[in-house]
Structure 1
Amino acid sequence: MTRNCYSYEALFRWLLAQYRQHEAIVSEYKREKAGYDGEKNVDYKLSTYPQKDFFVFQGIRLQNPPFYFQIDTLILSKKVIFILEVKNKQGTFKYDSKQRQLTQEVDGQIKSFKDPILQAEGTKSRICKYG
């Protein structure tokens, strides 16, 4: 589990019962747990493929001084590198390449997110510093 999931589970063990249902704490924990579950689901599916022509690395944490960055899953082959940023969210997602915006629709409500391609490009540029 991610470090945050462990932290929330430890917190729940120590909190008094009346505080365990605090909306902000439970909501954050569910978000972290959903992300963890999504990563594990992808890890499992990747493990079902024969891995003789590529390598899979999960949960990589690298330093880009003065900070660190994390890669959910990195797939290396002789010809290509794939960087997977795993999300586990509900609803319908649409990416508008002209506006460079990702939107999520759940129950008629639309929420906007940062451009995931820019995130991947940033990760790619950080990785290239290692190569």
Structure 2
Amino acid sequence: MKLFIDENLPAQLVRPLSGIFPRDKFQSATETGTSGWDDVPLIYELGERGFNAIITLDRHQLDNPDEREALRDAGLDWIGVPPELQEWGGDVLGMAGSLIAHGLSLYQQLQVNSPIGLRAPKPSARSSAASMFFKL
């Protein structure tokens, strides 16, 4: 799988995640030259470049109908990191790596074992566990 790490997460996540998931390719916004892009054009560009999913802190992408439509059209799955991550002190990179790695393990299992995937909840739903990732 090819996974994009959004610019709202540390680009340094590429190395530890690549070590945890050696068969997958991780790239950051810095590496792809897409830092500062608006979400909708970014999503379509990632689809064109063959990415399978975006890893992000931006939960508004699921609330915005244009961004949800772009995710569907581009064939990108959305992997969200709980917003509480922004409030943690100390080793944010370690915490982010642990959370994302846990979510990615489950995501990979679903890719292999589930032909249906997950559907996004109604925009008012805010459960972190229920909204870790979506196949739109």
> By percentage of residues, which structure has more strand?
1
State which structure, 1 or 2, has the greater radius of gyration over its C-alpha atoms. 1
Asked if Structure 1 and Structure 2 have the same fold, meaning a TM-score greater than 0.5 normalized by the shorter chain, the answer is no
- Which category of TM-score, normalised to the shorter sequence, fits these structures? under 0.3
Higher relative contact order (CA 8 A, sep 6+): 2
Q: What is the TM-score with the length of structure 2 in the denominator?
A: 0.26
Q: What is the TM-score with the length of structure 1 in the denominator?
A: 0.26
> By percentage of residues, which structure has more helix?
2
